[in-house]
Amino acid sequence: MNKKTNSRNALVLRDFLIRTANGLLGIQIIVYGEKPAVQGLIIANHRSYFDPIAIVNQVHAFPVGKKEVESWPLIGYLCKISGVLFVNRSCQKSRHNTAESILEVLSKGYSIINFPEGTTHTLPTTAHFNPGSFVMATKIKAAVIPVAIDYKVKTDAFIGDDTFVPHFLKCFGKLRTEIKMTFFPPIYSEDSDFLLNTSKDLIDKELLRYRKDWDNEK
């Protein structure tokens, strides 16, 4: 009972700190679609280290992220309180432990956020999706919940030779950082290719719509 209470209190604290951080940083998130009423594997495209924080500001979920982010100032701390499951992708044991943690989180009624592109970029649509998340979804019979996310200012994406502190100051030094996010209905299938292709197609079309709408504002 104490463990359950502590977990619940940790989520309340996490949500409060993230909402506070969003206010201080001038984050404006425009959300489309219905937030998921079921738990599952949230599959999102990847623009920035801030993506998982933006998503957990909307839903109770636990992101999977690369191990090195854990040591970053501020964002590393926000990731920790966001419940990020850090994984060293080059270590088989780390990947195995993360898979077990994912199953445990899902069994408790929470969702997992994964970024199948595995890296950030500024392409107009998604890059190659790694199939691992979708194969796992079929094995554990979990819903796949596609999510599209993008930033109005293209340079808010964290890419290439960007280093954390200069990028953070550039991205969040503005009065407002506008983010668009769309939740799509859960997808169920025993075919991992269908899950991957359907998710990718939905997200790609939404990213193009975002950019078209932003361009029309100019």
Question: What is the mean pLDDT of the segment spanning 181-198?
Answer: 97
The reported pLDDT for the residue numbered 93 is: 66
Structure tokens, 34: 């219905």
Asked if residue 138 lies in contact with residue 195, where contact means CB atoms within 8 angstroms, the answer is: yes
Alpha carbons 124 and 82: distance in angstroms, whole number: 28
User: In this structure, are strands 111-114 and 61-66 parallel, antiparallel, or unpaired?
Assistant: parallel
Question: What is the mean pLDDT of the segment spanning 117-132?
Answer: 92
pLDDT confidence bin for 94, thresholds 50/70/90: low
Report whether pLDDT(100) > 90: no
Report whether pLDDT(10) > 70: no
Give the H/E segment covering residue 13: helix 2-25
Q: How many domains does the chain have?
A: 1
Alpha carbons 3 and 180: distance in angstroms, whole number: 35
Asked if residue 168 lies in contact with residue 22, where contact means CB atoms within 8 angstroms, the answer is: no
Asked if residue 84 lies in contact with residue 52, where contact means CB atoms within 8 angstroms, the answer is: yes
Burial 77-107 (b: 16+ CB within 10 A, else e): ebbebbbbbbbeeeeeeeeeebbebbeebbe
Reduced to 3 states (helix: H, G, I; strand: E, B; else coil), residue 29 is strand
Backbone angles phi, psi at 84, to 5 degrees: -60, 135
pLDDT confidence bin for 105, thresholds 50/70/90: confident
Reported as a single tens digit per residue, the pLDDT across 126-160 is 999 999 889 888 988 899 999 999 999 999 998 87
Reduced to 3 states (helix: H, G, I; strand: E, B; else coil), residue 31 is strand
Percent of the chain scoring above 90 in pLDDT: 40
Report whether pLDDT(168) > 70: yes
Alpha carbons 82 and 55: distance in angstroms, whole number: 10
Would you give the DSSP letter of residue 32?
E
pLDDT confidence bin for 72, thresholds 50/70/90: low
168 or 121, higher pLDDT: 121
Question: What is the mean pLDDT of the segment spanning 81-97?
Answer: 63
> Where on the phi/psi map is residue 74: left (φ > 0), alpha (ψ -120 to 50), or beta?
left
Report whether pLDDT(101) > 90: no
The reported pLDDT for the residue numbered 57 is: 86
Question: What is the mean pLDDT of the segment spanning 87-99?
Answer: 63
| CATH code: domain of residue 69 | 3.40.1130
Where in the sequence is the domain holding 37, given as residue range(s)?
A: 2-217
DSSP string computed for 18-60: HHHHHHHHTEEEEEESPPPSS-EEEEE----TTHHHHHHTTS-
The one-letter amino acid code at 188 reads Y
Residue owning tokens 């504002």: 217
Give the H/E segment covering residue 113: strand 111-114
Tallying the residues shown for the chain, one arrives at: 218
What is the residue-averaged pLDDT of the chain? 84
Reported as a single tens digit per residue, the pLDDT across 26-52 is 899 999 999 999 989 999 999 998 898
pTM: predicted TM-score of the whole model, two decimal places: 0.83
